[in-house]
Structure 1
Amino acid sequence: MASVPKLLLLALLCSYHSLVAHAADARTHKVLDIESMTPKTVCSESKAVPSSTGGTTLPLHHRHGPCSPVSSKKLPTLEEMLQRDQLRAAYIQRKISRATGGSGVKESNATVPTTLGTKENSLEYVIKVELGSPAVTQTVLIDTGSDVSWVQCKPCTQCHDQADSLFDPSASSTYSPFSCGSGACAQLGVEGAGCTSSQCQYFVQYGDESITTGTYSSDTLKLGSDSVKSFQFGCSHEESGFDDDDRTAGLMGLGGGPQSLVSQTAGTFGKAFSYCLPASSDSPGFLTLGAGTTTTSGFVKTPMLRSNQPTFYGVRLEAIRVGGKQLNIPSSVFSSGSILDSGTVLTYLPQAAYSALSSAFKAGMKQYPSAPPKGPLDTCFDFSGQSTIKFPTVALVFTDGAVVNLDGSGVIVEDCLAFSASDGLSIIGNVQQRTLEVLYDVGGGAVGFRAGAC
């Protein structure tokens, strides 16, 4: 065998060790371009790639970004957004605690209707649907924490401003209000509001005490090229406490209760759906009904947990990794389970888990000066003069070994760690879900995560 000169051998060895070090570094740290953290003013080309060719897929947009079909007159401040987010998180935690006697979420087939909605003004993502015959476009918020869907209808005695025309039930040949004695009216339970002129009335109050009320009705709903006949929804004639700046026509409930879009379309699409929330507001994502009916390739899965509040979808968070190392958090800290929610912005962790995460993350960010807290965001940094930032990877570990490595946009928001502490159960918010296709296989009792979907 020919000999290798010592200098060449040394160079090869250094090169090899450099490659190994870079590979290890890529597993424990990420580099984020500061400019990429600033949303653009124009809508970028879609990078969304749904996993399923079955069902129906709709574009999904952040309501405050340049891709939004209902651009706001005034953007909320960070303080306003986080204040709303804390109210929503606290409300969900109280609701689950009351329903379970403080035991959290667990496996259950209970079907008790929800009592109240969650906080509407904290919701961030919208889709376009068509309602009625002839069909008219309505841009609605999506919410996995609500069941009853609704749009503003004529005549409306008190409505917020919206970009689309008010839905006119008298102009639709397929519109039908439910009678007070109908099964659909009885199914509303506590969200039923009696009768007006023999027509069933609904009433939904959200966590911030905003209210929508009107006639519980049915009409044809068009989702892309698919139509859902006799879709049940609230025709809102009066409301209070809503923000005129949101410009949406209403809300589409994606919860697990009987009134939700998911439950109503189970016969058509199967009881499964998925979505991908984009990394920033200047790019689109998607919502797929019928996801997972043809393939679940590329997903890591964990069991879905339920409580006797069927609206909410639970998972079991078991551990957190920072920089590739698992944090020393007692398993009992996560014993109450976690709620996976599209409408909560941050991820809220029990104090012990958050403290461990914050300490480990700070240890990996020693090269950057600390910065003052921003509301519930108290692990913040000063990135002045930086064009890129290097930070430790963060991964969430769920039951059955489902490891979800968070995208950079799911770790840092507004120069802070995008997590907060809470006194209740964990809530996995939408920041941590960014770029993932999140699959809710309600029929199969599982939640899946697929990386890099949008």
Structure 2
Amino acid sequence: MASIPKLVILLLCTCLHTLVAHEGYDLRTYKVLHAGSLKSAAVNCSQPKVTPSSGGVTVPLHHRHGPCSPSPVPSTKAPTLEEMLRRDQLRAAYIRRNQSESGSLLEDQTDGLMGLGGGAQSLATQTAGTFGKAFSYCLPPTPDSSGFLTLGAATSGFSKTQMLRSSQVPSYYGVLLEAIRVGGRQLNIPASVFSGRSIMDSGTIITRLPATAYSALSSAFKAGMKQYPPAQPMGIFDTCFDFSGQSTINIPSVALVFSGEVVVDLATDGIILDSCLAFAANSDDSSLGIIGNVQQRTIEVLYDVGGGAVGFKAGAC
């Protein structure tokens, strides 16, 4: 596998804390995390082992404001969670309208964006003749950890669901979300709720679900967290908890089920963000769903454009 060690891609996604799962609990039902890690800020750069699929060219991914960044900007402070969620709302609205809002997504003095969509101008499309029509990435869970991007990724060893494409909007890679599981149990959500497609988007922070699906998820998650007092909503988050005085926290597992019976168990980093359930609701059930980057953390996500599939491999970074 070829590599380019000097080329580093800086992530814009939010990575604010570490959630650590421990042995002794059935990971299909509950996961355990350290409460202190919800607020701690990383100060040292660690280089955890990453396991990209063989083949192609792989480059490392680091958080822009983390200690692993090779080109930190001292005068640029990391945005607060509230600010990132505000920008995330702008991006989600932009995607739904599918029209440009010049500057609205780049107001933090970002140098630029690297496109990996299916449009003619994206890096993935322009390099397909050299590396092939498949790429993958793994988004690191914390500012002090590393992920990777692979162009020309191997396509074996993944749990794959069908990739849905639209000739009207070729930039987006669609998937069909069919169910949600909480604590190992599938929620009673009518199939019609998921009749509209969702897209995979590494630039959106928080996953947007159909309103009915989110309501069921929130209710089930609250039921599994009833030992913790509720906390005030924060921005787009309305399912938050007070973990004061807690050293460890038990949280129900959450899994997304895609077409083809592909079950993606989310890492703890993809379930809780700053003491809140890290999902948001669309205004209705017909709006486009978005699978955001928080839910993709630690998972190698494969875009097999040539094969028409999106793949998932857990614990890759």
TM-score, normalised to structure 1, is 0.61
Q: What is the aligned counterpart of 1:87 among 90, 99, 114?
A: 90
Q: Distance in 1 between matches of 2:182 and 2:245?
A: 25
Q: Distance in 1 between matches of 2:214 and 2:91?
A: 19
Measured after TM superposition, the shift of residue 251 of structure 1 is 2.2
Measured after TM superposition, the shift of residue 44 of structure 1 is 1.0
Q: Within the alignment, does 1:451 sit opposite 2:314 as a pair?
A: yes
Q: Distance in 2 between matches of 1:64 and 1:394?
A: 28
AA at the equivalent of 2:103: S
Q: Within the alignment, does 1:306 sit opposite 2:165 as a pair?
A: yes
Measured after TM superposition, the shift of residue 24 of structure 1 is 7.2
Alignment of 1:308-327 (within 5 A): 308-327=168-187
User: CA 1:242–1:400 in structure 2 vs 1: closer, same or farther (change >3 Å)?
Assistant: closer
Q: Distance in 1 between matches of 2:124 and 2:26?
A: 42
User: CA 1:384–1:333 in structure 2 vs 1: closer, same or farther (change >3 Å)?
Assistant: same
| Residue-by-residue CA offset, 1:46-103 (whole Å, 9 max, x unaligned) | 3211012x110000011121112343421212211101101111221222xxxxxxxx
Q: What is the aligned counterpart of 2:48 among 22, 46, 55?
A: 46
| Residue-by-residue CA offset, 1:179-215 (whole Å, 9 max, x unaligned) | xxxxxxxxxxxxxxxxxxxxxxxxxxx43x318xxxx
Q: Within the alignment, does 1:32 sit opposite 2:28 as a pair?
A: no
2:276 aligns to what?
416
Give SS of 1:396's match: strand
| Residue-by-residue CA offset, 1:413-448 (whole Å, 9 max, x unaligned) | 010000001122210000000000000001110000
CA contact under 8 A between 1:371 and 1:381: conserved in structure 2? yes
Measured after TM superposition, the shift of residue 25 of structure 1 is 3.3
Q: Within the alignment, does 1:360 sit opposite 2:220 as a pair?
A: yes
Q: Distance in 1 between matches of 2:245 and 2:46?
A: 27
Give SS of 1:26's match: coil
1:62 aligns to what?
63
* Mean Cα deviation higher: 68-77 or 392-401: 68-77
- Runs of 5+ in structure 2 lacking a partner? 1-22
Q: How many residues align?
A: 288
| Residue-by-residue CA offset, 1:244-281 (whole Å, 9 max, x unaligned) | x54x5322211101111111111111111100001111
CA contact under 8 A between 1:277 and 1:433: conserved in structure 2? yes
Q: Within the alignment, does 1:425 sit opposite 2:288 as a pair?
A: yes
| Residue-by-residue CA offset, 1:119-168 (whole Å, 9 max, x unaligned) | xxxxxxxxxxxxxxxxxxxxxxxxxxxxxxxxxxxxxxxxxxxxxxxxxx
Q: Distance in 2 between matches of 1:39 and 1:254?
A: 30
AA at the equivalent of 2:159: V
Q: Distance in 1 between matches of 2:197 and 2:71?
A: 35
Return the structure number with greater helix share: 1
Q: Distance in 1 between matches of 2:28 and 2:247?
A: 21
CA contact under 8 A between 1:39 and 1:282: conserved in structure 2? no
AA at the equivalent of 2:81: L
Identity %: 68
| Residue-by-residue CA offset, 1:220-259 (whole Å, 9 max, x unaligned) | xxxxxxxxxxxxxxxxxxxxx843x54x532221110111
Q: Within the alignment, does 1:75 sit opposite 2:75 as a pair?
A: no
AA at the equivalent of 2:240: C
Give SS of 1:252's match: coil
CA contact under 8 A between 2:221 and 2:252: conserved in structure 1? yes
Q: What is the aligned counterpart of 1:435 among 295, 298, 301?
A: 298
CA contact under 8 A between 2:135 and 2:302: conserved in structure 1? yes
CA contact under 8 A between 1:334 and 1:425: conserved in structure 2? no
Return the structure number with greater strand share: 1
User: CA 1:242–1:27 in structure 2 vs 1: closer, same or farther (change >3 Å)?
Assistant: closer
Give SS of 2:91's match: helix
| Residue-by-residue CA offset, 1:334-377 (whole Å, 9 max, x unaligned) | 11110100000000111100000000000000110000000100
Measured after TM superposition, the shift of residue 23 of structure 1 is 7.3
Q: Distance in 2 between matches of 1:274 and 1:375?
A: 31
Give SS of 1:427's match: strand
Q: What is the aligned counterpart of 2:127 among 261, 265, 272?
A: 265
1:4 aligns to what?
none
CA contact under 8 A between 1:341 and 1:428: conserved in structure 2? yes
Q: Distance in 1 between matches of 2:41 and 2:315?
A: 19
Give SS of 1:92's match: helix
Give SS of 2:113's match: strand
CA contact under 8 A between 2:165 and 2:172: conserved in structure 1? yes
2:211 aligns to what?
351
1:210 aligns to what?
103
Alignment of 1:266-285 (within 5 A): 266-285=128-147
TM-score, normalised to structure 2, is 0.87
Q: Distance in 2 between matches of 1:396 and 1:433?
A: 11
Q: What is the aligned counterpart of 1:250 among 104, 109, 112?
A: 112
CA contact under 8 A between 2:25 and 2:31: conserved in structure 1? no
Structure of higher CA gyration radius: 1
1:385 aligns to what?
245
Give SS of 1:251's match: coil
